[in-house]
Amino acid sequence: MHNFPLKSGIEILSWNSSFMIRLNALALAACLMCSSALAQTPAAKHPSDSSATPNPSIAHDTHEGMTVTADPYADRARAKEKFGKANPVEVGILPVEVFLRNETDHPIRVNINTIQLEIHFQNGGRQDIGSLTPAEAAYSIAHPHGPTGPKTSRLPGIPSSGGDKKSSQMEAILSPLALDGDIVAPMATVHGFLFFDLDRDMSLANTAVLYIPDAAAIPGNKSLMFFEVPLAKPPQ
């Protein structure tokens, strides 16, 4: 039988204190590593920005608790600053930043697929233009002189997508900036860009009106009166 020497109470207390210090240090290091990892994680994209507030001087239409504001980017330099190499103005496409502000206590649905740009000509004529999808606008930007020709599919009867890398790059820039939300929450704002092909004539923006025909309060699906926002700059 072996008789091991007993440690004194002071020695045991000293060992416990040293062990607890090491344990706390390891826990602190783990917390710091987790915090660092979270800080490096990209933030998730939010679908709407409730704090977005357009310049009050920009043209707008307000009724029934909802405000629609339209800000056209007809200036080439301004559009270049916003869109970079995917500048729609370079190919005659007008980007319009649209703000949908809901001041009511219930959601409002806006059918963005029916929004149009009304072009009013000096001779009294009018033309209604539907918006382009980000993919359509991106293709026009990537191929300003038109398609280079379809590629032959490897399988008969199935068209080839062509693997258009340049269009995909342009779309990756436009899509996050596009207006893609159709439900505006109470006391919130949804905003983004719509793209209209003006056939390289940006002067048409001065006689254009953004027309929103399809908005309804939820629940009940009560239709709101249409909204019209002129894009012409107000006189200085």
Which residue ranges make up each domain of the chain?
Answer: 11-39, 60-148+165-230
Q: Which pair of tokens denotes residue 109?
A: 């649905």
Length of the chain: 236
- What CATH class has 60-148+165-230? mainly beta
- Main-chain phi, psi angles of 10, to 5 degrees: -65, -40
- Residue 49 — very low, low, confident or very high, per pLDDT cuts 50/70/90? low
CB 83 within 8 A of CB 91: no
Q: In this model, does residue 34 exceed pLDDT 80?
A: no
The full DSSP string for 113-143 is GG-EEEEE-TTS-EEEEEPBPHHHHHHHHH-
Any idea which of 35-39, 63-67, 96-100 has the lowest mean pLDDT? 35-39
Whole-number CA gyration radius for the chain: 29
What is the DSSP-derived secondary structure letter of residue 47?
A: S
Q: In this model, does residue 94 exceed pLDDT 90?
A: yes
pTM: 0.73
CB 54 within 8 A of CB 61: no
Sequence letter at residue 16: N
- pLDDT at 147 (0 to 100): 72
H or E stretch covering 72: strand 66-72
CB 184 within 8 A of CB 218: no
